[in-house]
Amino acid sequence: MAITAYLAEHYDEALTEFRAVRRMTGNHEVLAMMADCERALGRPDKALALTKDKHVHDLSEPTQMELLIVAAGARRDKGQTAAAIQMLEVPELTKRTRADWLPRLRYAYADALAEAGRTDDALVWFHRAAGVDGDGLTGAAERAAELEGLEFTDLDEDDTVLDDEYFEDETTDTDDTADVIDAADAADAADVAVAEVDDAADVDDADADETADVIDAVDAVDAVDADVDDAAGVDGAGGVGEDVGSDG
C-alpha cells in the first residue's frame, strides 16, 4: 500500500504507511522513500533529518545511494546547490556497475551542475549518465541534446510520420503509374482502332476495286456479246440475202 501510494504521488498516505511498515517490521530500507515523501511535501529539513538516521549505515548500497540523491535534492530545495554538488561527488560516481542507481546518481549530479551554471561539466555527466542508462529512464540523453542545442524528438513518432508520408507518396506514385498505364492502354486502343479503320478502309477500297473490276469485266463481256450479236446479225442478213439472191 505504501509503495502504491508513493507511485501514485499520494505522499501523505505513502509516508504514513512507510512509517507503519518500519515500526512493525524494523525494515529501515524504506528510509529513502520516506525522505523523498518529505521532500515532495515541501519539507526539505525533515527529509535531511531522515538522511542522518542512526540506521543509515545499516542500509544496502542501493538504498544509501537513493538516500544520497534525495539529500542532495533537499539541499537544492533549500537553495544550497553547491552543497548538493559536493554531496554527490562520491567515489560511486565512477564505479563500474550495472546497478539501477548509477544512472540516477550521475543524472542528479549532472542536473545539479547544470543548475549551478556549469554547463560543460553538466554535459559530460549527462552523457555519462546516458551511457549507463540502457532503458532511457533518466532522460539524460534528452538533457544532453538540449544543452548541445539539438532538438530531441520521439523516434517512434518520426517513424510513424515518415511511414505515413512514404506510403502516401507511394500511393500517389502508384496512382500516377496507373494513370500512365491507363493512358498508354487508351493510346494503344486508339491506335488499334485507327488501324482497324485503316484496314476496313483498305478492305472497302479493295472491295470497291474488285467490284469495279467485275463491273468492267461484265461491261467488257457485254460489249463482246454485243459485238458478237452485231456480227452475227450482219452475217445472217448477208447470208439470207445471198440465199434469196441466189434463189432469185
Mean pLDDT, residues 40-63 taken together: 95
Asked if residue 197 and residue 106 are part of one domain, the reply reads no
Asked if residue 200 and residue 141 are part of one domain, the reply reads no
* Spatial separation of the C-alpha atoms in residues 136 and 157, rounded to whole Å: 17
Position 236 confidence tier, pLDDT thresholds 50, 70, 90: very low
Asked if residue 161 and residue 146 are part of one domain, the reply reads no
Is residue 25 pLDDT above 90, yes or no?
A: yes
Length of the chain: 248
The mean pLDDT value of the chain amounts to 75
Q: Assess contact for 129 and 140: CB atoms under 8 A.
A: yes
Position 208 confidence tier, pLDDT thresholds 50, 70, 90: very low
Nearest by Cα to 59 from 85, 33, 98: 33
* Spatial separation of the C-alpha atoms in residues 91 and 8, rounded to whole Å: 33
Nearest by Cα to 105 from 68, 156, 71: 68
Asked if residue 141 and residue 107 are part of one domain, the reply reads yes
Mean pLDDT, residues 168-194 taken together: 44
| Number of domains making up the chain | 3
Which tens digit of pLDDT belongs to each residue from 99-141?
999 999 999 999 999 999 999 999 999 999 999 999 889 999 9
Asked if residue 157 and residue 248 are part of one domain, the reply reads yes
Asked if residue 248 and residue 178 are part of one domain, the reply reads yes
Asked if residue 72 and residue 15 are part of one domain, the reply reads yes
Domain boundary among 121, 152, 183: 152
C-alpha distance from residue 99 to each of 36, 87, 102, 243 (Å) = 20, 20, 6, 150
HSE-CB of 222 using CA atoms within 13 angstroms: 6
Domain limits for position 221: 153-248
Which tens digit of pLDDT belongs to each residue from 74-89?
999 999 999 999 999 9
Asked if residue 194 and residue 168 are part of one domain, the reply reads yes
Percentage of the chain with pLDDT > 90?
A: 57
